[in-house]
Amino acid sequence: MLNTKLSIFITGILLVCSMSTYAQLVSTNTELATAISNASAGTTITLANATWKDVHLNINKTGTEESPVTIQAETPGLVFFEGNSYVEMGGEYIVFKDVVFQNPSNLDTDNPVVEFKSSNDCNHCTVTNIKIDNYNGTQAQEEDTFKWILLRGTHNEVSYSSFIGKHGVGSIINDNRSSTAANYHKIHHNYFADRTPVGEINDLNDQDAIRLGSSSTSLSDSYTEVYNNYFYNFSGEIEVISNKSGKNKYYNNTFDDYQGALTLRHGNGCEVYNNFFFANKNEFTGGIRVMGENHLIYNNYIEGINSKKPDGSTSGGTGGINVSNGKPNSALNEYYQVKNVSIVNNTLVNCDYGLRIGTKIKSTNTLAPENLVVANNVIYENTTKAIQLTTDPIGDLSKIEGNIKQNGAWDITTDTDFNINVSSGLLASNTGFYRVVSGSAAVDSGVGLYSFLTSDILEGERQDAFDAGAEELNAGGTMFPYSQSDVGITVGFGSNITLGIGNVIKLEQNLKIYPIPSNGAVLNISLDNRPLGNVEISDMSGRLIIKENFNLSKAVIDIQNLKAGTYIVKVQDVSKKIVIR
């Protein structure tokens, strides 16, 4: 009995020692530096609730997927980094969360607020549930390049955070991509609000929200995904998002009361889908701006575009969807020709220009878009041109077909190639945006076959006889645009706390995928007592292979056409690896 009690006592001491090694509360910069120095995989460093001045948090450690190194607030939102504070993270599997940056002073703008690099790049690292609030330099520093988040490395995440009141040159989130290696970053459920430009809108470059890549590495692929973000009252330059790398995806984002556009400036093979743009007739607004090759642009809703500049002239880079001409023998930082791009099933409402094709932002841009598909777009009550052809597309595969407008003019022939004009009944205002209605000319009018067009903008299932425009009538989707009522609830700082980590853990525990590894033709997926919703299967490069929506708690998915290898199955907010033999 004595030996048993002694054994229990010693085990208890060892457990306490182990816990003290992995979970520490620190109250000063010195204690924080010591805790970081002693950290190892599984360590959690908790920052005491307080205002911390001039914090230079530098961590270069190696965690694991199961046991990351975590630095967190004692209470989310009650730890404030002020003065000249910044964070540098290098290594593997590091998590930084729950901190508010505010009240800057004596900022060194050469240091980003958060950089995914210390002595080494950070890989598989996460910044989540932070707020950067008006953390700007002085007026004398406003033309200094000061980035808030600088991504480096691979497989990193920025999520559920708020970025408010940026002023001055420098992206909010930037990945310079000095290497051509793929990145696989995830940027999601963030809130970007109240950015103000230096001078007038677009006076200076590098005032975007997100920039992925640079001209020098733009012909290499990043495979980064930007999704479920909300941009509000945002003004800086023509590029709210500046894409400068390949194979990136932009989806389920909402742009509200903004200036600029989502711009595919450099890079090839990107997808832009299921996004909402509400420009509110602000000057110098666009939806999607296109350069490069092999892009897919579909299921986007774009409303209230105003292409006028503050001086009253019309910008050549705006419009609902703007397809640029290219420059012969273009340098990497100039304008590559648009080739093999599909612009399909978008809805454009009350814009001055709906689709602008072959625009010439510079006189040297003389290469027309080649093999351009513009199909099944719905263009409702546009005021200047529904479709403007500044330059006719070239190439045997180019086609403009199945587009429908209600009133307004376009530079194509009505009643040719299923392009039609109607006088009424195309869309109706409903739940904050214009939607397809019963009896609309858009219903069942889609032409062509597009393997990527399996769902609509609300993530409802498309039918074999599919509708024109972004929405499929009565498809039952639930992915509606974000609004101010969603901030802190489903997007931005505080939202992941509101949703509850416990719910995600419970979901993961109840989610069953079998058999693993799979030798058969089907995969069984089940979730206790709740609908599965969206189920996605992607390969390890991030390419979406299968996407289906299930209203039941069980599903059987046909995988007989998938090659042997490792895949990611995503159900709601949980992802799991599977192996197919």
DSSP string, 514-536: ESSSB-SSEEEEEETTS--EEEE
pLDDT value at position 190?
Answer: 98
Cis peptide before 515 (omega within 30 of 0): yes
Cβ partners under 8 Å of residue 428, min gap 6? 434, 435, 437
pLDDT value at position 89?
Answer: 98
Give the DSSP H or E segment for 434.
Answer: strand 433-436
Token pair recorded at residue 202: 């677009």
Cβ partners under 8 Å of residue 6, min gap 6? none
Residue 485's φ and ψ, nearest 5 degrees, are -70, -15
Q: Say if residues 26 and 35 touch (Cβ distance below 8 Å).
A: yes
Nearest partner of 524 among 561, 572, 559, 567, judged by Cα: 559
Question: Which DSSP category does 222 fall into?
Answer: -
Going from the C-alpha of 283 to that of each of 305, 312, 385, the distances in angstroms are 8, 9, 17
Question: With the C-alpha atoms ordered 454, 457, 459, 460, is the resulting torsion angle positive or negative?
Answer: negative
Nearest partner of 388 among 349, 346, 356, 417, judged by Cα: 356
User: Cα-Cα-Cα-Cα dihedral of 446, 451, 457, 458, to 10°?
Assistant: 110
- Residue that has been written with the tokens 């598909």 in this structure: 373
Alpha carbon of residue 371 to chain centroid: 27
Q: CA-CA distance, 279 to 264, in Å (whole number)?
A: 18
CA angle, residues 548, 400, 386, in degrees to nearest 5: 95
Q: CA-CA distance, 135 to 133, in Å (whole number)?
A: 5
User: Domain coordinates of the chain in residue numbers?
Assistant: 1-135, 505-580
Question: Which DSSP category does 274 fall into?
Answer: S
Token pair recorded at residue 410: 């376009």
Cβ partners under 8 Å of residue 478, min gap 6? 458, 459
- Residue that has been written with the tokens 């069980």 in this structure: 554
Nearest partner of 113 among 194, 57, 46, judged by Cα: 57
Q: CA-CA distance, 519 to 515, in Å (whole number)?
A: 8
pLDDT value at position 563?
Answer: 84
The ranges of the chain with pLDDT < 70 are 1-22, 499-509, 520, 528-530, 540-542, 573
pLDDT value at position 10?
Answer: 34
Q: CA-CA distance, 516 to 507, in Å (whole number)?
A: 19
CATH number of 505-580: 2.60.40.3080
Q: How many CB atoms lie within 10 A of CB 334?
A: 16
Going from the C-alpha of 188 to that of each of 88, 158, 443, 495, the distances in angstroms are 21, 7, 32, 12
Cβ partners under 8 Å of residue 92, min gap 6? 61, 62, 63, 64, 122, 123, 124, 125
How does pLDDT run across 226-272, given as a tens digit for each residue? 999 999 999 999 999 999 999 999 999 999 999 999 999 999 999 99
What DSSP line would sit under 415-460, residue for residue? TBTTBEEESS-SEEEETTEEEE-TT-TTTT---S--TT-SB-TTSP
Q: CA-CA distance, 518 to 532, in Å (whole number)?
A: 20
Q: Say if residues 344 and 450 touch (Cβ distance below 8 Å).
A: yes
Q: Is 104 helix (H, G, I), strand (E, B) or coil?
A: strand
Q: CA-CA distance, 515 to 220, in Å (whole number)?
A: 36
